[in-house]
Amino acid sequence: MKRIVCFLLFFSCLMMASPISLAQEETLSDDEIAAILYRMSQEENGEGEYLVLPEGYTEPATGLDGLFRLLIVGVDTDDPRIRGRSDTMMLAVLDKRNHQLKLISFMRDMYVQIPGHGHNRLNAAYVYGGPEALVSTLNKNFQVQVDGYLAVNFSMMIALVDAIGGIDIQVEEEELKPLNGILEYYNYQNEKPEEEGRLLSAGLQRLTGLQAMSYARIRKIDSDYERIGRQQRVMMAIFNKLKSSNTDQLLDIMMNQIDSVATDITLQTALSLMNDVVGMGTIDTRYLRIPVAKSSRNTVLNKAYFVIPNLEKNQKAIQEFLGTP
């Protein structure tokens, strides 16, 4: 009986949205239909035997719940012949309904179970089986859902930042020397003048792609915990710069960079997400680092450093952060 009532409500909503005059006919948008379907699915415990969809209806990229979970992977190699390890692992959860972007960063040194490969550091999963193995590992250990992945190497990150005209980052005095050290080493590896592109002063700076990559890789002055904070600041600076671009600029950037990334996201999904972000206006951004405080211990195994996470505590922290049961 409850399902019949829900269906009647759905049908009534469609009728109320359509005036009697055919000349003034209006229809619900795909997003409005998705919102109705989502409410019904919650009430129906996921069942929908009585659901009748309009002809041509397509579910938004963010799904009925208004969420899209994108795994962003930064790979520590520029050689396309080498898979490399995942130097950066960040789950970006776009919540269209609540105008929120939630970033969850996973420390690369966590000792976890990699399905089919025993136990190792989290960043080894990418070596074993690429993004698919990493997604499986994150799901196994932290119970996170991933809707799509985007894997880039150093050169891709540099090209993207340069394509959007650089990003604004507050560089602290103690970060200046290691930033330039990483930059000079990258130039050396690529047979360029070592001092090319050096950052001359600290403070709020417009960073080029190479400077931004070097900033994100700073580690030795503090810890991997602080390094994750720098990576999150770079990602948000890129996101904000992209968000301030118009649709034509975004499309041009996407088409120019698409061959340089590994992804399972279709062009149609990418365009849909791009329009969602542009149309959301102000976005509330929140951050989480895994493992959370007091939920792990550090150890040395076979002369190698590992972070041992308490999986139950971190799973709970992720669920609370995302607002999921």
Where are the chain's structural domains?
A: 2-43, 67-322
User: Mean pLDDT across the stretch 20-45?
Assistant: 65
Residue 122 in tokens: 């989290």
pLDDT digits (tens, 9 = 90+) for 232-254: 899 889 888 887 777 777 778 77
Q: What is the pLDDT of residue 78?
A: 63
User: Mean pLDDT across the stretch 98-116?
Assistant: 93
Q: Which pairs from 44-50 meet CB under 8 Å and 24+ separation?
A: 44/2, 44/3, 44/6, 47/3, 49/3, 50/3, 50/4, 50/6, 50/7
- In this structure, the number of other CB atoms found within 10 A of the CB of residue 93 comes to 24
User: Mean pLDDT across the stretch 181-199?
Assistant: 93
User: Mean pLDDT across the stretch 92-99?
Assistant: 90
Q: What is the pLDDT of residue 154?
A: 78
Contact between 184 and 106 under an 8 Å Cβ cutoff? The reply is: no
Average the pLDDT over each of 40-54, 155-169, 241-255 and give the range with the smallest value. 40-54
pLDDT digits (tens, 9 = 90+) for 123-142: 999 999 999 999 999 999 99
> Which is the CATH superfamily of the domain at 67-322?
LCP protein (3.40.630.190)
User: Mean pLDDT across the stretch 189-203?
Assistant: 93
d(CA 65, CA 171): 38
pLDDT higher for 126 or 24? 126
pLDDT higher for 116 or 10? 116
